[in-house]
Amino acid sequence: MNGARSSPGAPRFRTARLLLVLGLGAVMAFLALRSSPYLQYIPWMPRRLGVWADHHGILRNTVAFAGFALVVHLLLGCRAWLVATLCAFGALIEIVQLWIPGRTFDWKDIVASVAGVLIAWPFAWAGRRLMALRSC
């Protein structure tokens, strides 16, 4: 097993990590595809976080996708196909909003989502390198 390319604990918890990523992706999709863009009114959303997100429009996409991508990279690895998949996921969510009443398509949201994914990549790569060095 090549330690530099495999995830920590692989293959033991591979399925659990993948299910966690899919679950987080489902939450991201739920938040983005609701008929209302306002997050502060979601009962389980911390109010301060919802208010911040509602007041920071496009920036919330960058922060949300940076956080999501960081988790994905730390759990599944820092591979180029994951970066491309996360970028496509961000674009797809925005495109689907064309057909959701109360939502609008904005190409700037796609740019913000892709920016978040790209911002997370070097941080996750560095984090995984540090974890690999500590396990030696």
Domain interval for residue 33: 14-134
pLDDT tens digits, residue range 11-61? 668 889 999 999 999 999 999 999 999 999 999 999 999 999 999 989 999
- When divided into structural domains, the chain yields a total of 1
Contact 96, 35 (CB under 8 A): no
Is 51 among the domain residues?
Answer: yes
Confidence of residue 128 (pLDDT cuts 50, 70, 90): confident
Is 4 among the domain residues?
Answer: no
Q: Which long-range contacts (CB under 8 A, 24 or more apart) does 6-12 make?
A: 6/77, 7/75, 7/76, 7/77, 8/131, 8/132, 8/135
Is 6 among the domain residues?
Answer: no
Is 127 among the domain residues?
Answer: yes
pTM: 0.84
Mean pLDDT of 106-124: 95
Is 81 among the domain residues?
Answer: yes
Is 5 among the domain residues?
Answer: no
Is 25 among the domain residues?
Answer: yes
